[in-house]
C-alpha cells in the first residue's frame, strides 16, 4: 500500500538501520524514521512512500524506550552534529557493531565472520581535534557563529556550548562571537556574497595541549591582527598559532586560496604512539587523536609486522600509519593523492628520524598500474581508503599483486563489504574484523579487518 505524504501513523521502533534511522512498520511494511529509539512507541508523519518501504519523521514519542538517556548538550534538539547523544553509549556501540555485521551478511553475503566488540572511546566527549564553525548573518542585522542545524545545510545556530572539542576550544568560539561584534567587519552573506568573516576553524593537539586558530575570511583586512593575537593568547594560553585563510570564491568552504600566518609557526604538533606529526590548517588528520592511536594499534595487531616486511601504506595521508610502525618493519612505502600530504609525510619522517619510509604522490589506481614493479616489491599492505572505498582499478591491481597479508581500514562498512566480497571471491580469507568507535554520538563507525591468502 502506498501512503500519502503527510499521513500520520503510530508505530513501535524495532531497530536502528545502517544509517541510524529508526525502523518501524505499518501493516508489515517497513518505515524508516528520523527520531525514535528501539522499544519506543512513536507518532510519525510519512514523508515518502516507495514500493518496498516508507520514510518519515517522528513527531512525538508516546512511550519512551529503555535505551533513551537525557542528551547532555543543550543544543541536541537542533544541532546536526551529535544525532545519537540521547542513546546510551553502550547501546551506540552495540548498534555500530551490528551495522558492520549486517553489511557483511547482507551486502557481502559473508556469514560467520569474527566481528569483535567495538572498541569504545574512554571519554566519549571532548574527543574532536578539529571543528569548523560558520558565521551567518541573521534577519535583524546581527550574526551567529556556530554549527549547522540538523537537516539544514545553510542554517547556522548560535553556539553556546559544544561537548565535542576541549572546553577551552568551545570557549574560544564564544570569545569570537564577542570579538567579531566589535571588529567593525561584516559577517559573510552566502546569498549576496558580501562580507568578511566566513569560518572559524579550531584544531587541537591533545597530546601537547596546543591549539591552532584558523580564520577563513574574504580578504586580508583583520583590524590590528597583532592585538587580536595578544588578546586571544592571553585569554587562551594553549593557542600556539593563528592563521588566516583568504577565500574569495563563492564556494562556501573553510579553505582558502592563500594562507597568512598571524601568530606562531603556522602549525601545531600532535603525537600518535610516541611519534610527532605536524598539523597545518589544511592537513588531513583522523579527527579523534586518542582513538586513532587505538585504530592504528588494532591494524598492527592484525598485520603482525616483521623486521623483513616491506609495507605498503596505501592512502597514507600525512604518513601516520606507516611512520608509527616503521621501526617494526624493514621498509614503508606510502601512497597518497595530495602532494601537500606527501610533503607533510616526508617532513614527519625527518622529524621522527625515520629513514626507511618513502612516499609517492598520485592516484593509487594509476600508480599501481604504471609503476607495478614498485608495488610488487612490497609484501604486505595497510589500506585506508576514503568513504567510497577502493577504486575498482586499484582493487584489481591489488588482486593481481596478491599480497599474502592485507589490513583494510574503513570508515564506511558498506563500501568495505563491497570490497571484502571481491577480495574473498578471489582467494583471500577474511579474518578478524575490529570496529573502532572514532565518532561517539554519531552513527559512524570505523573498522579494521585482516585478509590473508596463500602465495
Active site positions, annotated:
411
Strand order across the beta sheet in which 143-148 lies: 156-158, 143-148, 130-137, 197-205, 210-217, 239-246, 258-263
Q: How far is the CB of 172 from ligand SAH (least distance, A)?
A: 25
Q: Does 363 bind ligand SAH (CB under 6 A)?
A: yes
Minimum gap (Å) between residue 267 Cβ and ligand SAH:
16
Choose one: 47-55, 249-257, 264-272, 313-321; the region binding ligand SAH (CB under 6 A). 313-321
Distance (Å, whole) CA 361 – CA 335: 6
Q: Which of 286, 289, 344, 412 binds ligand SAH (CB under 6 A)?
A: 286
Binds ligand SAH (CB under 6 A): choice among 120, 282, 386, 431: 386
Quick check: 149 and 156 in contact, CB under 8 A? yes
Residues ≥6 apart with Cβ < 8 Å to 124:
89, 437, 440, 441
Does position 284 interact with ligand SAH (CB under 6 A)? The reply is yes
Candidates 337, 351, 374, 401; binder of ligand SAH (CB under 6 A) is 337
Smaller CB separation from ligand SAH, 67 or 446: 446
**Between the CA of residue 216 and those of 129, 254, 259, 413, what are the distances in Å?**
18, 6, 9, 33
312 binds ligand SAH per the rule CB under 6 A: no
To the nearest whole angstrom, how small is the minimum distance from the Cβ of residue 324 to ligand SAH?
Answer: 10
DSSP string of 270-301, one letter each residue: EEETTEEEEE-TT----S-HHHHHHHHHHHHH
Choose between 197 and 272: whose C-beta lies nearer to ligand SAH. Answer: 272
3-state secondary structure of 327: helix
Residue closer to ligand SAH by CB (options 155, 346) is: 346
Residues 388-407 that bind ligand SAH (CB under 6 A): 391
* Cβ proximity to ligand SAH, 119 vs 316, nearer residue: 316
Scanning 36-44, 130-138, 333-341, 399-407 for contacts with ligand SAH by CB under 6 A, the matching segment is: 333-341
Buried b (16+ CB within 10 A) or exposed e, 29-56: bbbbbbbbbbebbbebebbebeeeebbb
Pick from 303, 364, 443, 445 the residue near ligand SAH by CB under 6 A.
364
Among 92, 320, 348, 410, binds ligand SAH (CB under 6 A): 320
The residue at minimum Cβ distance from ligand SAH is 317
The window from 100-108, 173-181, 201-209, 332-340 that contacts ligand SAH (CB under 6 A) reads 332-340
**Residues linked to residue 23 through DSSP beta bridges, in sequence order:** 15, 32
Nearer to ligand SAH, 45 or 354 (CB): 354
d(CA 246, CA 228): 17
> Which single residue is written with the C-alpha cell 564553525?
133
> What is d(CA 445, CA 436) in angstroms, rounded to the nearest whole number?
6
SS3 category, 359: strand
Stretch that binds ligand SAH, among 3-11, 92-100, 266-274, 337-345 (CB under 6 A): 337-345
Report if residue 384 touches ligand SAH, rule: CB under 6 A. Answer: yes
Please pick, from the candidates 338, 346, 347, 376, the single residue that binds ligand SAH as defined by CB under 6 A.
Answer: 338
Count residues binding ligand SAH (CB under 6 A).
Answer: 18
Instruction: Give the number of other CB atoms < 10 A from CB of residue 132.
Output: 15
Across the chain, which distance is largest between two alpha carbons, in Å? 69
Any contact of residue 316 with ligand SAH (CB under 6 A)?
yes
Query: DSSP E strands: which ranges in 174-283?
Result: 197-205, 210-217, 239-246, 258-263, 268-272, 275-279
Q: Give me the residues that bind ligand SAH (CB under 6 A), please.
A: 284, 286, 315-317, 320-321, 335-338, 341, 363-365, 384, 386, 391
Amino acid at each position: 500500500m502506498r501512503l500519502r505524504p503527510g499521513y500520520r501513523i503510530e508505530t513501535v521502533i524495532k531497530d536502528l538501520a545502517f544509517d541510524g534511522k529508526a525502523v518501524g512498520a505499518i501493516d508489515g511494511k517497513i518505515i524508516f524514521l528520523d527520531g525514535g529509539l528501539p522499544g519506543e512507541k512513536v507518532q510519525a508523519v510519512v514523508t515518502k512512500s516507495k514500493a518496498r518501504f516508507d520514510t518519515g519523521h517522528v513527531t512525538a514519542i508516546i512511550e519512551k524506550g529503555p535505551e533513551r538517556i537525557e542528551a547532555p548538550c543543550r543544543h541536541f534538539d537542533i544541532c546536526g552534529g551529535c544525532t545519537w547523544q540521547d542513546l546510551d553509549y553502550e547501546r551506540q556501540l552495540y548498534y555500530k557493531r551490528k551495522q558492520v555485521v549486517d553489511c557483511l551478511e547482507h551486502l557481502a553475503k559473508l556469514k560467520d565472520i569474527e566481528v569483535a566488540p567495538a572498541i569504545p572511546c574512554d571519554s566519549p566527549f571532548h574527543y574532536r581535534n578539529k571543528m569548523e564553525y560558520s558565521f551567518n548573518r541573521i534577519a535583524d542585522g546581527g550574526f551567529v557563529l556556530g554549527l549547522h542545524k540538523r537537516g539544514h545545510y545553510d542554517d547556522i545556530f548560535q553556539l553556546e556550548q559544544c561537548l565535542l572539542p576541549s572546553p577551552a576550544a568551545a570557549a574560544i568560539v564564544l570569545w569570537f562571537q564577542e570579538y567579531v561584534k566589535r571588529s567593525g567587519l561584516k559577517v559573510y552573506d552566502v546569498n549576496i556574497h558580501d562580507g568578511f568573516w566566513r569560518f572559524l576553524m579550531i584544531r587541537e593537539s591533545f597530546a601537547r595541549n596546543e591549539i591552532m586558530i584558523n580564520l577563513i575570511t574574504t580578504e586580508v583586512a583583520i583590524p590590528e591582527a597583532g592585538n587580536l593575537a595578544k588578546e586571544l593568547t592571553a585569554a587562551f594560553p594553549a593557542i600556539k598559532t593563528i592563521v588566516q585563510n583568504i577565500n574569495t570564491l563563492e564556494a562556501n568552504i573553510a579553505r582558502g586560496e592563500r594562507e597568512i600566518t598571524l601568530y606562531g609557526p603556522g602549525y601545531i604538533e600532535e603525537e600518535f604512539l610516541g611519534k610527532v606529526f605536524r598539523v597545518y590548517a589544511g592537513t588531513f588528520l583522523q579527527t579523534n587523536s586518542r582513538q586513532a592511536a587505538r585504530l592504528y594499534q588494532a591494524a598492527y595487531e592484525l598485520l603482525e609486522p616483521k623486521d623483513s616486511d616491506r609495507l605498503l601504506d596505501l592512502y597514507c595521508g600525512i604518513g601516520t600509519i606507516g611512520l608509527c610502525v616503521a621501526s617494526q618493519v624493514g621498509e614503508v612505502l606510502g601512497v597518497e593523492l595530495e602532494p601537500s600530504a606527501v610533503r607533510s609525510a616526508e617532513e614527519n619522517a625527518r622529524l621522527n628520524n625515520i629513514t626507511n619510509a618513502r612516499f609517492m604522490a598520485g592516484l593509487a589506481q594509476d600508480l599501481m598500474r604504471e609503476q607495478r614493479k614498485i608495488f610488487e616489491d612490497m609484501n604486505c599492505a595497510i589500506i585506508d581508503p576514503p568513504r567510497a572505498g577502493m577504486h575498482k582499478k586499484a582493487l584489481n591491481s591489488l588482486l593481481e599483486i596478491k599480497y599474502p597479508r592485507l589490513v583494510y581500514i574503513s570508515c564506511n562498512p558498506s563500501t568495505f563489504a563491497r570490497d571484502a566480497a571481491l577480495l574473498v571471491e578471489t582467494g583471500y580469507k577474511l579474518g578478524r574484523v575490529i570496529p573502532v568507535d572514532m565518532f561517539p554520538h554519531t552513527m559512524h563507525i570505523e573498522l579494521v579487518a585482516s585478509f590473508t591468502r596463500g602465495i
